[in-house]
Amino acid sequence: ERDCSIQRKRQKLIEETPAPKISNHLRKKMTTAAINIAKAAKYFSCGTVEFLVDEENNFYFMEMNTRIQVEHTISEMLTGIDLVKAQIKVAMGKKLTFKQNKIHFNGHVFEFRINAEDPSNNFQPSPGKLKYYIPPGGPNVRLDSACYSGYVIPPYYDSMIAKLIIKGKDRKDAIKIAKRALKEFHIQGVKSTIDFHLYMLEDEKFLNSDYNLNYVDDLISKGCKF
């Protein structure tokens, strides 16, 4: 499962897995429900079942996305399973090479969406030419992007520049690696959400997993500067 609660206007900014506030008991119940939904719909491909979870650990079905999602990368890093490859094999009529009871979690993974937006100015769009684009690297750092120095971010489409995926042995370790990688990520020519992510990695409520879907919007409404 993935936690995608750090959002602005219902647009995801940070995703992580395992979800930090989900118990093993609740995880098993949600997994069973998701599998039953897919079976009832006779669904046969990659897909994501989305639930809302309240403070009493009750969960509610919201929707099923019948496709690969942006944040599939953190599931891949956590389990070691190439979901895109698996989806293609299923479409070809081939069987999966793994079973549900053989899927295991290994560590903790974050995805940070690096968008061409200005967090210090209410996340205003920042299209333009990337004067410098110097991505981070190193162990347990994955970057999904098609950008380079000189690339032009158009004003017409999605503002995403890159997806920065970080894996650690646990949540604390992943946050430590993420801080280093974000500080090494240099973008000039447009504004980006890098400073927002660095702010969140120092935020007490984020560090304690004490937030909900409205947390970022609440910070903005209070005049918080990232």
Active site residue 67: yes
The 3-class SS string of 146-176 reads CCCCCCEECCCCCCEEEEEEEEECCHHHHHH
Catalytic residue selected from 67, 113, 142, 180: 67
| Number of domains making up the chain | 2
pLDDT along the chain (226 residues), means of 10: 96 97 94 95 93 95 94 96 94 90 93 97 96 97 98 94 98 98 98 98 96 95 88
Q: Which pLDDT score is estimated for 142?
A: 98
Tell whether 14 and 37 lie within a shared domain: yes
Which of the listed residues 67, 82, 102 is the one where a domain comes to its end? 102
Residues 140 and 208 in one domain: yes
CATH number at residue 124: 3.30.470.20
pLDDT, residue 226, reads: 87
Global pTM value: 0.95
Say if CB 151 and CB 190 are below 8 A apart. no
In terms of residue numbers, what domain contains 153? 108-221
118 and 83 in a common domain = no
Q: Is residue 226 part of a domain?
A: no
